[in-house]
Structure 1
Amino acid sequence: MKKIIALTVAFLAIACNKETEKEGNLHLSGNVEGLKQGKIYVQQLKDTSLITIDTIKFEGKSSFDTKFTIDEPQMLYLFLDRGQTNSIDNNLSFFAEPGKMTFKTTLKEFYADAKFTGSKNQETYEKYLKIRTNLSNENAELMAKEIKNLKIKDPAVSSKIQSDKEKLTVRKYLYTANFAVVNGTYEVAPYIALTEIPDANLKLMDTIQKSMSPKVAKSKYGKRLTEWIKERKQTEQE
């Protein structure tokens, strides 16, 4: 009798584990150093609203392992609920794709220390972000010069700063467009075009659109880019 009861309990335990085990085509695991209690909400943008597609709970340990389903490679968002601790460093995004991914960061620097692996799209996106950061630093330097010139009001300096700002803008658009063209086999390419240079010259946008692989052209962002170019052409012809 005791053996029968023991076997029944073991069977029920296994059954319960199977029932609670998550399923999905994206297996995300990792660690948030320093986080013992709290939640991370995995969110997806639908239309204009963020919806939660998975919740990661931390109860005593900082490591986690979860699964959820996404239709295709896309940008997802993580929101950290620290419980009683308030911080503006609670949000970050990453370009997810089906398969195995890892996410590691720290509670102290949730955004700055974030590192994702396992997604070629995310890896490609991070390369673009480095280019964007360099351009942003140059823009910050020009703004500092502009503020400094407010005191002396030198027309020649103002003219030079304005010229440099215009050249920097052109460089940003060309660098971004070129990056999207070179990486046309990744879904992140049309995403970058849509979010970084949606008002770029239509010739540039056409070049990006034509550089997409058939698979990317049929993706969520590939379709949006094609629709966006079509809408712009109709609007600009009126």
Structure 2
Amino acid sequence: MKKLLILTVALVVLACSKSTNKTGNVELTGKVEGLKQGKLYIQQLKDTSLVILDTITISGESEFQTKFQIDEPQMLYVFLDRGTTSSIDNSIHLFAEPGKMTLNTTLKEFFASAKITGSENQKVYEKFLKIKSKLNNENLDLVEKEIKNNLANKVEANKDIETQKEKLKVRRYITTANFALVNSKFEVSPYIALTEIPDAHIKLLDTINKTLSPKAAKSLYGKELAKWVKERKSIEEN
């Protein structure tokens, strides 16, 4: 009887050690396939510094479950501490929203294999990333041609490439602005404008700012965009 009581107490203690007892309006579950030992840090940008919003310790099992609190939908960063193994593939952008979200990925390709569900803003952001990737690939192709011309002493041929690069730059700004306008009801819209084209023509940024839905305009990034537009106008008018 005494042994049974000790065993019961031990099981209760073990169960409590596995329970996070965390609370919050975001419930994040998922798996990092191949990770048996390590930590995930949910990071939040405060002013200009990243601060840890939540820490997930993985020991023995790849699955995880946690809860944390956010005031409103916003971009967070999931950083993987691999312990003794270092890698540049250790951070994932996650546009968090209150509710249930999932994050499934692998240890080998932590960023590249990430699949995130439960956030409408995340879906929109991932659509934008595909567009951005295509534009980046076009630019890389032009850079490659430029390098080959330099190696072959065909410097004159690079004048046309420079023109193409400038046109691509303009197209990137217009494409990004159009994407933000089309998705103006989402909080990720002003985020994209702020992080991708902050130096765009003020009229372009002002148009995005004025087109935002009431919900997006009142969001963290909506307020930041309005503030940025006001500052730009003040500087350029003086």
Q: Same fold (TM over 0.5)?
A: yes
Deviations 1:10-29 (A, max 9, x none): 9x87x958x85211000000
State how far apart, in whole Å, the 1-side matches of 2:181 and 2:45 are: 25
Aligned to 1:229: 229
2-structure distance, mates of 1:88, 1:159: 35
Give matches, 1:1-238, under 5 Å: 20-150=20-150, 151-155=152-156, 157-238=157-238
Deviation, structure 1 residue 154: 4.2
Moved over 3 A (4+): none
Aligned partners of 1:92 and 1:68: how far apart in 2? 17
Rounded Cα–Cα distance in structure 2 between residues aligned with 1:48 and 1:199: 18
State the TM-score, normalized to the length of structure 2: 0.92
Q: Equivalents in 2 of 1:182, 1:194: separation in Å?
A: 16
Describe the superposition over 1:142-189 as per-residue Cα deviations: whole angstroms up to 9, x where unpaired: 00111111122242x222101111110111011000000000110100
TM-score by length of 1: 0.92
Q: Quote the Cα distance in structure 2 between the aligned partners of 1:20 and 1:231.
A: 44
Stretches of structure 1 lacking an aligned partner (at least 5 in a row): none
Give, in whole Å, the separation in 1 of the partners of 2:224 and 2:121. Answer: 17
Quick one: distance in 1 between partners of 2:118 and 2:191? Answer: 19
Secondary structure of 1:95's match?
strand
Q: CA 1:20/1:62 → structure 2, altered by over 3 Å: closer, same or farther?
A: closer
Q: Which amino acid aligns with 1:62?
A: S
Output the amino acid matched with 1:99. Answer: G
Q: Distance in 2 between matches of 1:9 and 1:195?
A: 53
* CA distance in 1 between partners of 2:153 and 2:54 (Å): 55
- RMSD in angstroms over aligned alpha carbons? 2.2
The answer on whether the counterparts of 2:20 and 2:66 sit within 8 Å (CA) in structure 1 is: no
The residue type equivalent to 2:128 in the other structure is Y
